[in-house]
Structure 1
Amino acid sequence: MEGIGWIAAIVIGGIAGWLAKQFMNTNTGLLMNIVLGIVGAAVASALLGVFGISSGGWIGYLIAGFIGACILIAIVRAVSR
């Protein structure tokens, strides 16, 4: 979350979570979208960091949040089955 503030992280996380919700066709609420986006961005940033890929700024955070939220949704679906 370097380079963006907490309020921006919440807004971008919400957008990323909502995009992941639409892409993965799941039924989650606003709070869960925000959590998925923020946690997803942290997860994706860590995974991308392993491969030497760095994402910065709003767009990078949004992309990382979307990728991470999709990963988290897939993991939850796999575990719940």
Structure 2
Amino acid sequence: MKNFKFHPKHLTWLMPLILSGIMSGAISCFNLFLKLGWVDGFFSIWLHAWSLSWLMAFPLILIVLPLVRNTLMKFVEMPK
């Protein structure tokens, strides 16, 4: 079977997709645990909270990441 690889042009949406998924999952789990503790049904409650968080995080990071990158580039000296 041939190895499947994405074209580099897909990094513009794949990286934010994975990053937003990991971050929203970790943060929603942490916040939910702090609020409720380890309750019955924690996993299903967390998956619901995570899906809503990811629904918000992915489009937000797609919009904010280029703005942050462009702003930071004004303060970064690139090698010549």
TM-score scaled by structure 1? 0.38
TM-score scaled by structure 2? 0.39
**Which is higher, the Rg of structure 1 or of structure 2?**
2
